[in-house]
Chain A
């Protein structure tokens, strides 16, 4: 049976990128998945219409943590308008494995946070 605990996810789970807070973020938000208790805070600093910094904190399973780590890497340097193009497919591609239906919400928690920030 193939496992979703492959290299990319494990690497980002053990050494998450961009974990922490930004001093004075342009935008921030937090999301919560009550069914498993995962919580995620996402902060973004824009500079001249581009993402200068993106950081997250929170607790969750390896999938949700790895996805937040990967997504914060991914958005850096992107124009605000380009953030809107990020979707489910982007996340799955970043994670590098198929995510079963039971774990979709874990994988997409960081995306939910990003969408919330864009809407603000």
Chain B
């Protein structure tokens, strides 16, 4: 079994992984694996790669780290050949690649479990599971929560999978993004049809009825004009004043890194849960590895 896309999972499976993550976070699971995890990152990443390696170590596993700079890919070897070879060295593979569909291609090509660590602008399912876990942990549930998504919703790697999952769980979604950086309308249509999702769009940064506020990065390179980029970033930056009339138990999340998206003083606000969210990366990824390896031995 692989973890390639949130579209492959149903609610029951996601809940199973979240429950398992809960047990991992509480240190209840003592299972150890005499196995090797390979992290293959074809583009830079710190958090995803390190937290997968940490998860492997906590499960008693070892890891191999692959970097394309020094590999035979430079000599013209195809991606599929590289994956087929490395699949003989490890028991689980985590793949991040700038091209969309790469993890699926790898999953179809080899027998070992493949985990998608992000494929272009398509999916980042493990981040989504961390997000869902953090929401459930801090709010006690996901369904019927008002979730506001702020920032570049078009290019943010995590958005495709997160919106899909939130809709699946019956959250009420509000989208706030700069012009031109809106969420893919075909995704909105898809989740409205599949899950009868309620999705609103607005332009002002007011979060009075929000239970969860999820902040995405706005990258300067998305704008042709640097002045325009500066102006938009300023306009969409989350500041303390935006939190004045928000609910007492509002939870602010972010996939991080944050550069200028969230004003520094918010870090000290007890509504800010993004560092906690980042720390959950390890137990949730432990749960994912355990889930996939467990499925493999049972089948």
Partners in one complex: no
